[in-house]
Structure 1
Amino acid sequence: MKENVTEICEKLDNLLLHTLDLMEEKVVTTIQLENHLRDGHLELAKARYIQGKETVGMLRVPQDTPITSLFDLETSYPEHNEDETELNTSSLPRFSINLKDKEEINKIQDPLKWFGVLVPQSLKTAQKRFQESLYLSARISDIGAELNVISKDFEASKEVKNQLVRNSEGESDRIAKLQGEN
């Protein structure tokens, strides 16, 4: 019994350490996301300043055609590997954002063309910053999903540990009672 409690305590410690690593990664990635979004907005402001506030704005977005994304969001659930004893990843979703195929991209009008043929470099840079922020958002979602799975695994392991401790305490009380009778 002591070995089982010890193994579960080690598993709980490992889960907590992994949680701290993931939380640190999430904070760092969130800061990167904020920086990319801030830089993207600043580049948009530069483009508005260069071209004028009338040429870069929502009034230039076409209202008659549907707006289609250049990216695809895919959610996958990886197969459970026998090697992964630490974490149940079968219920862990993975989010990936991919640029669409070249054929599909050719059908979609590049959003930069909405603002003219010769757009300023700052507008192109803003587009790149916002695209990079999409990838970071997917990574933050992956980390959040993994944190949720770890939290559930932690609670389940904690419950098993509490049961084992209660059972061992009950057995020690019974042994003490038997020794008191002798």
Structure 2
Amino acid sequence: MGLDPASLRIDQRLLYFMDQLEILEEKRQKFNALIEEGWFNISKARYSMGNKQVSALQYASEMDPHVYVTTSLSENGVVEFQCERTENKEELNESDIVENIGPTEGGLRRRVNVKQKETEDESTCKGQQQKDPQANTKTEKPKCQHQDPLKWFGILVPQNLKQAQTAFKEVITLSAEISTLQNAILATRMELQSEMKEKQRSSLN
């Protein structure tokens, strides 16, 4: 005698729930191992460079995040977390810039004598200097560009510090995956509980 469809659905849901828990345990173990590896490499770098050379004192005065965490809803209504890195966005934006060569204004242009244009430019520059003598002394503040945090600790950093950075980068991505999986497990557990309640009600009737 075969099982009823409700029992089959519950068994399949329970097996899926157990698989999710097993994957979550594996990811958590990897997460903890990467954190231990990262801190162990930082301690090695401090031993080789000196305790004061690898600390919060070397942090930049202005820092911009290289990773943003975004959220989205899946088809089942589960919140998913994704990590977006901005380290390569600036390079892409710079490569997309195209210089416009040629006249920007349409129509014919009147030719101006070169000597006459030079004298006009000199007169306009002198007039601006007389109006604002401090214009040439002021310099614009450069925009804060994304910088590799390893450069805060020097140009030639030990290999242990690079390995620590790689480990912590993977930790960030893995933490987003663990958060998404935890939300999926909670949703699966709620569905499993509702299906078991429905089966109990049908058996009582």
- Quickly name the TM-score band, shorter chain normalised: 0.7 to 0.9
**Per-residue deviation, 1:156:** 1.2
Give a deviation string over 1:121-154, Cα, whole Å, max 9, x none.
Answer: 1111100000011111111112101101001111
Contact 2:34 2:167 in 1 (8 A): yes
Unaligned runs of 5+ residues in structure 1 are 81-88, 168-182
Number of matched residues?
152
Residue 150 of structure 1: aligned partner: 188
Taking only aligned residues, the RMSD between alpha carbons, in angstroms, comes to: 1.9
Give the one of 47, 66, 72 matched to 2:68. Answer: 72
- 1:54 is paired with a residue whose SS is helix
Answer 1 or 2: which has greater helix percent.
1
**Whole-angstrom CA distance in 2 between matches of 1:15 and 1:30:** 22
Residue 10 of structure 2: aligned partner: 12
Give a deviation string over 1:45-78, Cα, whole Å, max 9, x none.
Answer: 111011100100112123x42x322112121113
User: Which residue identity is paired with 1:95?
Assistant: F
Give the one of 197, 201, 204 matched to 1:159. Answer: 197
- 1:76 is paired with a residue whose SS is strand
* Higher relative contact order, structure no. (Cα contacts within 8 Å, ≥ 6 residues apart): 2
- 1:98 is paired with a residue whose SS is strand
Give the one of 168, 192, 201 matched to 1:130. Answer: 168
**Per-residue deviation, 1:29:** 0.8
Give a deviation string over 1:80-129, Cα, whole Å, max 9, x none.
Answer: 3xxxxxxxx2x112211121152448922221111111111111110000
The 4+ residue runs of structure 1 with deviation greater than 3 A are 103-106
> Per the alignment, do residues 34 and 108 of structure 1 end up closer, same or farther by CA in structure 2, a change over 3 Å counting?
same
Identity of aligned residues (%): 28
Unaligned runs of 5+ residues in structure 2 are 92-143
Larger radius of gyration: 2
User: Which residue identity is paired with 1:77?
Assistant: L
TM-score, normalising length: structure 1? 0.77
1:69-108 equivalence runs, <5 A: 69-78=65-74, 80=75, 89=76, 91-100=77-86, 102-104=88-90, 107-108=145-146
**Per-residue deviation, 1:11:** 1.2
User: Which residue identity is paired with 2:47?
Assistant: Y
Give the one of 14, 20, 23 matched to 2:21. Answer: 23
